[in-house]
Amino acid sequence: GAVVSQHPSRVICKSGTSVKIECRSLDFQATTMFWYRQFPKQSLMLMATSNEGSKATYEQGVEKDKFLINHASLTLSTLTVTSAHPEDSSFYICSARDLAGGLNEQFFGPGTRLTVL
Amino acid sequence: QQQVKQSPQSLIVQKGGISIINCAYENTAFDYFPWYQQFPGKGPALLIAIRPDVSEKKEGRFTISFNKSAKQFSLHIMDSQPGDSATYFCAASKGGSWGKLQFGAGTQVVVTP
């Protein structure tokens, strides 16, 4: 199956700093990537959808100025959590799909654990 | 508002037993119903998926049963093994497997030896 990686796997930062999380499709071109947030023992909540070369579409209630998403290439999307606070501590997961190549499912990355002190 | 309702929240089953997880949805526009398996600290992985024109799909020890009129679908794990201990999520989307996924709350399954 197709492989999606995330970097870093874990990050700890101080309150007020910004953190960038990378999501890469390793063996396919991801025309669309999704970003999810998962709190402990809870479900995955979709934050935003990003299509390569265009602005991300955010779900209701997600602050676009706080969670900056860039999908500048077909294999890389980044999520930047700006001015992070302890309530932003969560497990962030991306998924990727390739409409053009015919992959008929979304492939999930391994997730990034963010802890804001 | 949870568009896909999942139960039970947790499940303990003996090795060799059957694990059954149920999900219900309201939006009749959903046309793709996958199940994901997630281990602690990892991203979810697709187990099996079904479309509404099929009432049952089996892959190995995993079976999805789908009841379109009741707007319910379930996952059966036959001959459960300790390695199946994980959290299972049902999901639904419009626009097939490429649509935005709405996840259920998850079921933590523990298979005892």
Digit-by-digit pLDDT tens for chain B (113 residues) are 678 999 999 999 999 999 999 999 999 999 999 999 999 989 999 999 999 999 999 999 999 999 999 999 999 999 999 999 999 999 999 877 778 899 999 999 999 99
Contacts of B102 in chain A (CB under 8 A): 46
Torsion-angle region of A65 (φ positive above 0: left; ψ -120 to 50: alpha; else: beta): alpha
Between β-strands B86-92 and A76-81, what pairing exists: parallel, antiparallel or unpaired? unpaired
CA nearest neighbour of A23 among A106, A98, A95, A114 = A95
Contacts of B2 in chain A (CB under 8 A): 43
User: Which band of pLDDT confidence, cut at 50, 70 and 90, is reported for residue A99?
Assistant: low
Contacts of A109 in chain B (CB under 8 A): 43
Is the dihedral angle over the CA atoms B99, B100, B106, B112 positive or is it negative?
A: positive
C-alpha to C-alpha distance for A102 and A91, rounded to whole angstroms: 29
pLDDT of residue A1: 67
Q: What is the mean pLDDT of residues A24-40?
A: 91
Which residue in A5, A26, A44 has the most chain B C-beta atoms within 10 A of its own C-beta, making it the best mutation to test that interface? A44
Closest partner CB to A43 (pick from B41, B96, B106): B106
C-alpha to C-alpha distance for A30 and B64, rounded to whole angstroms: 28
CA distances from A62 to A105, B44, B74, B105 (A): 25, 22, 31, 19
User: Which tokens belong to A65?
Assistant: 């100025």
pLDDT of residue B96: 75
Q: Indicate yes or no: CB of B43 within 8 angstroms of CB of A42.
A: no
Does residue B11 contact residue B59 with C-beta atoms inside 8 Å? no
Tokens 């303990």 found at: B12
- Mean pLDDT of all residues in chain B? 94
Between β-strands A112-116 and B10-14, what pairing exists: parallel, antiparallel or unpaired? unpaired
- Mean pLDDT of all residues in chain A? 91
pLDDT tens digits, residue range A87-96? Answer: 999 999 999 9
Tell me the H-state helices in chain A: none
C-alpha to C-alpha distance for A88 and A91, rounded to whole angstroms: 9
Which residue in B42, B59, B94 has the most chain A C-beta atoms within 10 A of its own C-beta, making it the best mutation to test that interface? B42
pLDDT of residue B33: 95
Q: Which residue of B has its CA nearest to A10?
A: B41
Local structure of B79: helix, strand or coil: coil
Q: Indicate yes or no: CB of B100 within 8 angstroms of CB of A93.
A: no
pLDDT tens digits, residue range B62-77? Answer: 999 999 999 999 999 9
Q: What is the mean pLDDT of residues A31-58?
A: 91
Which residue in B5, B94, B101, B109 has the most chain A C-beta atoms within 10 A of its own C-beta, making it the best mutation to test that interface? B101
User: Which band of pLDDT confidence, cut at 50, 70 and 90, is reported for residue A101?
Assistant: low
Contacts of A34 in chain B (CB under 8 A): 100-101
Composition of chain A by helix, strand, coil, percent to 5:
5, 50, 45
User: Which tokens belong to A20?
Assistant: 């960038």
CA distances from A102 to A57, B15, B67, B106 (A): 23, 38, 28, 29
C-alpha to C-alpha distance for B44 and A106, rounded to whole angstroms: 10
